Amino acid sequence: MALPQLSEEQRAENLKKAAAARHARAELREKIKNGEVSLEEVLNSEDPAAARMPVRALIESLPGYGKAKATKIMEELDISQKRRVQGLGARQRERLLEILSR
């Protein structure tokens, strides 16, 4: 599939949108890390930044969880390493909350 030809203006605008989305996800991760936003709030959020966040990044944002624990939890719940929050099923969300709320 060929990429569409974009004008310089369109390309610049798309780059700004992408940077804004990355910035929003980074702010959300920081809020999670500081305890300002709970895991349940993120999983139930309609915010596009939360929906597009990789599950792995979400877990790693929680205090006390790093790459190894995130990988172990995702394997235990049979969640793909590339899965985003919006792609989680109801049972996966439920189990994720259950495990991370211990």
Expressed as residue numbers, the domain containing 94 is 10-100
Structural domain tally of the chain? Answer: 1
User: What are residue 84's phi and psi, to 5 degrees?
Assistant: -105, 160
Is residue 32 one of the residues assigned to a domain? yes
Is residue 93 one of the residues assigned to a domain? yes
Instruction: Please provide the size of the chain in residues.
Output: 102
Give residue 19's pLDDT band: very low, low, confident or very high (50, 70, 90): very high
Give residue 3's pLDDT band: very low, low, confident or very high (50, 70, 90): confident
Using CA atoms, how far apart are residues 101 and 84, in angstroms rounded to an integer?
Answer: 20
Distance of CA 7 to the CA centre of its chain: 30
CATH number at residue 22: 1.10.8.50
* The residue type at 83: R
Give residue 1's pLDDT band: very low, low, confident or very high (50, 70, 90): low
Is residue 20 one of the residues assigned to a domain? yes
Task: Provide the whole-model pTM.
Answer: 0.84
Is residue 14 one of the residues assigned to a domain? yes
